[in-house]
Amino acid sequence: MRIHLANDHAGGDLRTTLLHWLEDRGMDITDHGTPDGNSVDYPDHAHPLAQAVSEENALGILICGSANGVAMTANKHAGIRAAIAWRPDIAVLARQHNNANVLCLPARFIAIPDALDCVKAFLDTPFEGGRHERRVTKIACS
């Protein structure tokens, strides 16, 4: 499975942990993030991830302090449905009901074990379709 990963300076530690966790599970990862804590502008990392996810029909994981900035940025791209999650049940519903293709994690508000649980839930949960398909098709603007 192709996974795109990106972060800003607030998400460096979580990014490193997730990168190794995903590699250990045999995921094909493209890293668009920054490896250190030097201040960066989150759109500079979120835009390339969102573009790649949209073009490749892949999945993405974005990390910033609150997850709001990266979610807002990613959701500007056609075909992207970025969802913020801080608990696994929220990640499950984002996939099941909203067909989210980008998971956004709030590095300053989530413990690493909880973030790993969210990522696992996100990756393991399929879109339910059915009545949700009709709603998801109404998300995009013309």
Is-contact 53 60, C-beta < 8 A? yes
- pTM above the 0.75 mark? yes
Q: Which residues of 112-139 are buried (b: 16+ CB within 10 A; e: fewer)?
A: eeebbbbbebbbebebeeeeeeeeeeee
Annotation marks residue 64 as catalytic: yes
User: What secondary structure letter does DSSP report for 37?
Assistant: -
Per annotation, catalytic residue among 4, 45, 77, 97: 97
Q: Return d(Cα 108, Cα 37) in angstroms, integer.
A: 13
Sorted by where each starts, the structural domains of the chain and their CATH numbers stand as 2-137 (3.40.1400.10)
C-beta separation of 97 from 132 below 8 A: yes
Residue 104 annotated in active site: no
pLDDT per residue as tens digits for the range 17-41:
999 999 999 999 999 999 888 999 9
pLDDT (tens place) for every residue of the chain, 142 residues total: 799 999 999 999 999 999 999 999 999 999 999 988 899 999 999 999 999 999 999 999 999 999 999 999 999 999 999 999 999 999 999 999 999 999 999 999 999 999 999 999 999 999 988 899 989 988 888 6
Catalytic residue among 9, 64, 77, 104: 64
